[in-house]
Amino acid sequence: MAENDVTKVKKIERTNLDNSNSAIRFEGILATNSFRTLERYGYTTKVSEFDDLTEALKKFQEEMGLKISGELDDDTIDVMKRPRCGGKLILNRSDRVKRFAHSSRWEKMTSDNVLRLKWFISQYTKDMSVSEIRSIVKKSFGLWSTQTIIHSMPSVTLVFEEAKDEHDADITILWAEGEHGDEYKFDDAGDEINILAHTFYPNYHRGTLNGDIHLDDAETWTSDGRYGGTTFANVFIHEIGHALGLGHSKQEEAIMFPVYKKHPREHEHFDLDDKCAINWNYIGPSNTCLFVWIMSEIVKHQVDHNSKNGMVANNETPIPRCKEDNEVQEKIEHKLWRELNVDPQKAHEYSKLSCRFLNGLHREFREHPFSLDEASLNNQTKLLELPTVRQKRHLRHLRHRRIRYHKNRHSLSFHDDDAFNSRFFDNFLSLYTQ
C-alpha cells in the first residue's frame, strides 16, 4: 500500500473518532504491513474503508483465538508477525474454506474406509540433507496414519506410500522461491507476511496441482529449528492436513491451527479436533464430533491448553442457549448445512441435538465446580470458565472412575434432555481435554 493510502487510513480514523468508541489504532508502516496481512489471507479486499477494516480484524482475531475487539492491538500485531500457513488456502475458487470439508477430499476411499495416497518429492531444499528430508516426510505421513483413529467409532485408515515418479503421485512436494509455476508466488524470507508454505486442496482442479505441497525455499529449513531456522516437520505435518482436504482449526493446540508451532511436533498426539475433522470429512458426521464442533465453533475460545504465548485471551466464554424466542437453533442449522455440507434434513436434526447439548451446559455447569459464573444477556448465554491443569488432571481421573463417554454414546438417548447430565459432561470433557 502506498504512503498516501496510509495517510488516507489515518484520515478515516480521525473522522470516526468523534462518533465511535472503538477506534482502530493505525501506525504508519506497521499498519501498512497489517493491512497487507489481512488482504493476503483473504480477510478483506479493501483497505480504505474503516468499517471494513474493523470487520476484517474481528475475523482475524476470531480465527486466532484473540480477544475480538476490531482493534489493531499489540496481541493482534504479534500474531500477525508469526510464521503461518499460506492461506486464503488454495482450493477451487468458487468454494469457501470449511473446517470439516466434505467438498474437498480424495474420492479414493475403499469400502472398508481405507484411503491410499502416493507422495513424491520433486524438488529438494539444500538446507537439509536428502536423507533428513525423506525421514521427516515419512514420519509426518506416519503420524497422520496412526493419530486419526477415534476409538469405538468408525474411522478412516490413511495409508501413504512413495510414488515412483511425479506422474504417479497424488501429492507432489517441492521447494521453490518467488514465482514457481502457479499463481501463488512466495514472498522473500523475512517478509512481514511470512508465508512458509501453501497447499492445493484435493478438488483444486488445476492441472496436476491437486494435493500438492509447496514450501518456500527462501526460508532456512532445519530438522529442529536451530539457529532461527524453520522446523520442517511443524510446517509439513500441518500442510498434509490441507492436502487431505481439511481447513484450519480455531484450537491452538490442533495440528490444523494456522500459526505454526516453534517446538518440534514429530512425536505429538493429535488434538481431538484434528481427529474429528479428518473423520467427518471422509467417514461422515457423528454425535461425538458434532459436540467437538460445537465446542470449537459455537462455544468459542473454550480451551486454552494452558497456553504460554497469550494467544487465547478469553477464558470466560458465552455459551449460546437455544430458546423459543431466539434464533440460535436456526443459526446452528444454517452453519451445519452451509459450512459442514450436512444435508438439510440431517442439519435440522443435528441442530436440535446441538441445542440439547448447549442447554445441558447451562443446566449442569450452573453447579459445576469449574464454572460458577452468572448467566448473562437475559439468560440466553452463560459464561464457561476453563479448567486449570489441576482440574484437567481431575477430569482425567474421573475417566478411570466412570464409564467412558465414547463407550456410552450408543446407550444414551440423546433425544432426551436428561441425557446431557453431569455424568455425560464429565465423560465428554475427560475425552475432550485429554
Q: Is 390 exposed, middle or buried (0-12, 13-18, 19+ CB in 10 A)?
A: exposed
* Phi, psi (rounded to 5 degrees) for 326: -135, 180
Q: Dihedral sign, CA of 323, 326, 330, 332?
A: negative
The amino acid at residue 318 is: P
Query: Is 310's pLDDT higher than 90?
Result: no
Catalytic residue (choose from 239, 252, 253, 333): 239
Query: 305 labelled as ligand-binding?
Result: no
Q: Which long-range contacts (CB under 8 A, 24 or more apart) does 27-34 make?
A: 27/72, 30/77, 31/6, 31/72, 32/1, 32/5, 32/6, 33/80, 33/192, 33/193, 34/72, 34/76, 34/77, 34/80
* DSSP label of 144: H
Query: 183 labelled as ligand-binding?
Result: no
Q: Which residues contact 169 (CB under 8 A, 6 or more apart)?
A: 118, 119, 120, 163
Q: What is the pLDDT of residue 43?
A: 59
**pLDDT tens digits for 265-277?**
655 788 899 999 9
Q: Which residues pair with 114 in a beta bridge?
A: 157
Q: Report residue 93 as a C-alpha cell.
A: 475458487
Query: 416 labelled as ligand-binding?
Result: no
Query: Is 234's pLDDT higher than 80?
Result: yes
CB atoms < 10 A from the CB of 368, how many? Answer: 17
Cα distances (Å, whole numbers) of residue 273 to 3, 200, 282, 317, 376: 42, 21, 14, 18, 28
Indicate the SS3 state at residue 228.
Answer: helix
Query: 51 labelled as ligand-binding?
Result: no
Of 125, 82, 81, 274, the residue nearest 214 (C-alpha): 125
Q: Which residues pair with 115 in a beta bridge?
A: 158
Query: 212 labelled as ligand-binding?
Result: yes
Q: What is the pLDDT of residue 101?
A: 54
Q: Which residues contact 205 (CB under 8 A, 6 or more apart)?
A: 92
> Is there a catalytic annotation at residue 39?
no
Residue 258 CA to residue 153 CA, distance in Å, equals 27
Question: Which alpha helices (DSSP H) does 256-372 contain, by range?
Answer: 272-282, 287-293, 328-339, 344-365
Report yes or no: 173 and 198 within 8 Å, Cβ to Cβ. Answer: no
Residue ranges of domains in the chain? 3-80, 114-274, 287-432
**pLDDT tens digits for 27-38?**
444 555 666 666
| Structure confidence at residue 86 as a pLDDT band (50, 70, 90) | low
Which CATH number describes the domain made up of 114-274?
3.40.390.10
- Mean pLDDT is lowest, of 105-109, 245-249, 330-334, 379-383, for 379-383
Mean of all residue pLDDT scores within the chain: 73
Report yes or no: 412 and 356 within 8 Å, Cβ to Cβ. Answer: no
The whole-model pTM stands at 0.73
Most confident of 67-81, 374-388, 395-409: 67-81
Q: Where is pLDDT greater, at 319 or 13?
A: 319
| Structure confidence at residue 225 as a pLDDT band (50, 70, 90) | confident
Of 11, 77, 78, 20, the residue nearest 47 (C-alpha): 11
Query: 151 labelled as ligand-binding?
Result: no
Peptide bond into 88 cis (omega under 30): yes
